[in-house]
A and B are shown apart, each in its own frame.
Chain A
Amino acid sequence: MSEPPVIQTRELTRYFGRKCAVQTLNLEVPRGCVFAFLGRNGSGKTTTIRMLLGMLAPTRGRATVLGCDSQALTPPVQARIGYLTEEHQLYAWMSLREAAAFQSAFYPGWNEKIFRGVIEHFGPRPEARVKDLSRGERAGLCLALTLAPDPELLILDDPALGLDPVARRTLVESMIYLTRRSDRTIFFSSHNLADVERVADYIAVLDHSVLRVCCPLESFRDNVREVRLGFTGPPPPLPHIPGLLQALRLERQLRVTCVHYNGATEKALKNLSPATMEILPLGLEDAFISYLGKQGEKSFILADTEVPS
């Protein structure tokens, strides 16, 4: 079963002036999965998504979505892609009914049941104007408008931005509802790792415009480990460890977070002769923060003469 991936990028690059926002991205999103696209603010996620949808032209490289070049998406292909932007922007003067009528006129595959189902979850009044809706209600309307045409590929750019917990939960439930059909793919970017943990099959992480992770969710978490070395006195200096993410030096402890913990790493750490050595798995959020946080060594040792105030 080697189906072509629904999204495929090849050397996708985008410069804004002199600054490189996305650097030679090579990404493949298989059909039927839930793919989370993670990264810090400004790492290039929205730029990538815009390029995938033809809103922005790449400086170099290309992207293919549903078999079609992203810069030349034809109307039939566009009908199969649902796109939800992070600001949940709609025409402020439209009422709910008008927005539904507007959108449904363009899509032949509009499913009124899906629209009603999603909208009822979020609860806005049918006569309300878009400008009078709360953030969550507007997000619900946008989501309903995006899901109702029953798209094969759903691309969501930070859909939970600014939503209250109830709305966020409803959003996640909608995404899971979509996975009922095995040929539906969801590609979304998010900052909310709790939701990502619930719902994603694969994750990809962009670190300052470079793709550094693209693997199943559990592989990422399994691969990031924290090792706690206890010492009787001040810890010795740390040797070079491949895959080191962060090292925290405390009075009698050395906490090392690293990737791909293997025999060589273990040996290097054992060479420091620690009194105790513990290997801890990390939760997804902690792993993510360690991965993308400032890499290197941090020190929290108070000198004897300093008195904390």
Chain B
Amino acid sequence: MALLALAVLTFLLTVSYRQYGAELQRGYGAVPPLGQAMTQAGFFCAIFGTVLGWLQIRAEKHRDLWAFLVHRPMTRTAILVSKSLAGLCLYTFGAGLPLLGFIILLWTPGHVAAPFEWAMTRPLSVMFLLGIVFYLAGMLVAVRQARWHGSRGLGFGLALVAAMGVFVGHEFWQTLLILTMTGGILLLAVWGGFESGGNYRNQSLPGKVGLTLACTAGTALLLLLFIGLSETLVPSSSGPSYSEYRFTTNGVVIKVIHHGVEPPKIVDLNGKPIINDKTGRLLTEGDLSPEENTPPARISPIFSPLDERSRPYSYLNPYRYYCPWQVAGKKIWYFTPDGSLVAYDIVTRRQTAILEAPAKLHKFSHGPGGFIPPSHSYDSRITAPWQLVASTKTLYLVDLEKRALKPIWSVPDDETIVGYWGYATIAGSLRALVVTRTVVKMLDLEGQEVWSVPYPPSFSAYAGISCLVLKPSGRFAVIFYPDPKADEGSGGNLPSRIEWITSGEGVTASTDLPPLPPAVQESPLLSLESLILPPALSAVAARWKPLQWPWNSACLLPAGLCAITGWWLGRRSSFSRKSQVGWAVFHLLFGFAGLLAFLGVQEWPAREECPGCKKLRVVDRAQCPHCGAGFPPPEKNGTEIFELSSAN
């Protein structure tokens, strides 16, 4: 079976490689070869891992064959370890080899028209490790002897959580942490299940904990699915309410207010609705042009494009690792981490040219010299041959065909360029917008300043700067956004600043935009969601979707109910005090999902009437928990024959 997996994955990877080649030929520009391969590899590893793990345990599905395996002078842990090692070897063979081959393919020159960084292998290695988590989940599904087949699959939920975590996690180490945690829990659950033959009651405590947590993840996912389904079925009458600023091409600031699913209202800064001059009616969203309908693009002064770790992309995004600049002729130009420009030929897929900045710099340092990528993609209206490129200190014009570099402007010694982009005026001439840490400038192709706006002194640091080109020509608006940390510190009250500039005249107007209230969710179903979600999850979810009081604490009430239910059930079955307390804490943390997992995982002992006190009592204690009476021997019917002394 591992051979089959090997074949399938190799096929998949080959297909994605060919696709890359085809897209490259079509001239789509800098296509990352990893993109599709990654998702395919991810799915494949997950499926392969699950099936492998499941089959490994299922091979001894017959009770007597399992007895054959297990009844030998070896501890069950040792048997499990050797099985897992064999399985992991198969997995590495089936999934690891093709991936390794693919990586080597990418690494050798001549296959991919892009520079290669070893850090690019991180997404693939994450997929490989994810497959191992699914392998453990597959084993868990097969190991459990549960009465309803549905509850067998609960353990799989944790693997799905791991998969989600992989895609959600921003940094590599975060993903590793998630994978380790989920893998660890699943490992404990599989070990416990294997030790006890799939039952719950006679596992050791770590096994029980692992299994319960894994099943809780499963039930939580089911709950979320249920909630999601019900949300689609129930027409939601309200969505989030929020407002945003938009800018017309004349430079007028308008406020767009969204209230649930009603059509948005457009008002001016004083709150009065705006009338469309042409129609005489209220301005609607449809009246705005596409440029007006999109929020303005930002440069972030904190953004240091050379340091791979500070790029705002998740580690899964290929654009984190390399920075394509543009396609010129049959070549694609990239920025390398050490500040050079390299060109890769599309046809031969090899590096054909390298353009170094006058003073090259090392990775991870912020020294002067190396090239930095522009803050936004290139305006295609700009005519060749001159392109705009900057280092941290100087702005250059570069002719890619002739490899000529012409500096046009430099910053003073104590400043650095943090962002720039070029755009074309209506007349077709190139203008460069340069942002340093203290000033925003617009320059023409000679390096002459067209206008310059210093940062307003009222803010200490800015999170973003946007520049808008307005009509009629020669008018611009620069917007300064406050730093989110400082904003939080002052309670979200920092305004954004706009400065309107006319070339030739400098700053003509400026105003402070008051901050907008945060988005408010009013969906009643969402509130219902918060009721059902376990408190542990709600605490985590509150970081992304904070809810107002009392909803954010409302989940404690159902959790309390669950704890009471669990307590009552435990009393019925005479749980020990320690386990009662443990379960109560668990229910408080995990609420409804935890209760479902509790029901799915527990094996309830039968209850019979006690001859001593006539109450129902569990049959797994030697003495009645109520009155202490033991279990009587079975009734004799006069036909017993007992004698053990041999007649020898």
Contact = CB atoms under 8 A, between A and B. Distances in A.
Does a CB–CB distance below 8 Å link A and B in the complex? yes
A199 to B, nearest CB: 15
Contact of B642 (A76, A78, A215, A218): A215
Which 5 pairs between the two chains have the least Cβ-Cβ distance?
A: A85-B64, A79-B73, A75-B73, A89-B65, A89-B64
Given A24-B633, A57-B201, A106 B641 contact: no
A107 B72 contact: yes
15 contacts: A11-B622, A13-B619, A18-B606, A28-B644, A55-B71, A59-B605, A59-B619, A59-B620, A60-B621, A75-B73, A90-B65, A213-B641, A215-B644, A220-B641, A243-B639
A10 B19 CA distance: 70
B75 interface: yes
A242 interface: yes
A259 B639 contact: yes
B564 interface: no
A111 interface: no
Contacts of B36: none
Given A56-B197, A91-B65, A219-B647, A15 B619 contact: yes
A223 B641 contact: yes
B68 A60 contact: no
Contacts of B605: 15, 59
B313 interface: no
Contacts of A195: none
A265 B364 CA distance: 104
A216 B639 contact: no
Interface string A10-41: 01010101111001101010100100000000
Interface of B: 59, 62-68, 70-75, 196-197, 199, 201-202, 605-606, 619-622, 631, 633-634, 638-644, 646-647
A28 B642 CA distance: 11
A83 interface: yes
Contact of B641 (A30, A57, A60, A212): A212
A62 B152 CA distance: 29
A216 B648 CA distance: 10
A65 to B, nearest CB: 12
A71 B67 CA distance: 14
A115 interface: no
A291 B640 CA distance: 10
B606 A53 contact: no
Contact of A60 (B63, B631, B640): B631
Contacts of A83: 67, 71
A245 B638 CA distance: 9
Contacts, number: 126
Contact of A55 (B59, B70, B633): B70
Contacts of B64: 85-89
Contact of A78 (B65, B71, B638, B639): B71
Nearest to B203: A57
A202 interface: yes
A203 to B, nearest CB: 9
A259 B638 contact: yes
A222 to B, nearest CB: 9
Given A89-B62, A107-B72, A213-B641, 14 more contacts: A15-B606, A55-B63, A55-B67, A57-B196, A75-B74, A91-B59, A106-B73, A108-B73, A213-B640, A214-B644, A215-B642, A215-B644, A219-B641, A243-B639
Task: From B68, B622, B638, B647, name the one whose CB has the most chain A CB atoms within 10 angstroms.
Answer: B68
A285 interface: no
Contacts of A17: 606
A251 interface: no
Interface in A53-111: 53, 55-57, 59-61, 71, 75-76, 78-79, 81, 83, 85-91, 103, 106-108
Interface string A222-262: 01000000000000000000111100000000000001100
B197 to A, nearest CB: 6
Q: Is the interface of B mostly helix, strand, loop or mixed?
A: loop
A81 B63 CA distance: 18
A282 interface: no
Contacts of B70: 55
Q: Is the interface of A mostly helix, strand, loop or mixed?
A: mixed
Nearest to A208: B634
A284 interface: no
Nearest to B70: A55
A197 interface: no
Given A24-B634, A106-B72, A218 B647 contact: yes
Given A15-B605, A87-B64, A218-B647, A242 B72 contact: no
A56 B75 CA distance: 16
Contact of B71 (A81, A88, A295): A81
A242 B638 CA distance: 6
Nearest to B66: A55
A111 B595 CA distance: 54
A260 B59 CA distance: 51
B641 A210 contact: no
Given A24-B631, A53-B71, A291-B639, A201 B619 contact: no
A201 B646 contact: yes
A59 B620 CA distance: 5
A57 B199 contact: yes
Given A15-B606, A60-B621, A291-B639, A55 B197 contact: yes
Nearest to A207: B639
A197 to B, nearest CB: 15
A91 B59 CA distance: 9
Contact of A219 (B62, B197, B638, B643): B643
Contacts of B199: 57
A177 B471 CA distance: 107
B65 A216 contact: no
Nearest to B196: A57
Nearest to A18: B606
A219 B641 CA distance: 8
Contacts of B647: 216, 218-219
Contacts of A50: 63, 67
A214 B639 CA distance: 12
Contacts of B59: 91
Given A59-B620, A78-B71, A106-B73, A212 B640 contact: yes
A215 B201 CA distance: 35
Nearest to B76: A54
A72 B139 CA distance: 24
A159 to B, nearest CB: 12
B242 to A, nearest CB: 55
Given A17-B606, A24-B631, A85-B67, A60 B72 contact: no
B71 A11 contact: no
B633 A202 contact: no
A60 B67 contact: no
A144 B377 CA distance: 77
Contact of A106 (B62, B63, B74, B197): B74
Contacts of A81: 71
A210 B621 CA distance: 19
Given A81-B71, A107-B72, A219-B643, A57 B202 contact: yes
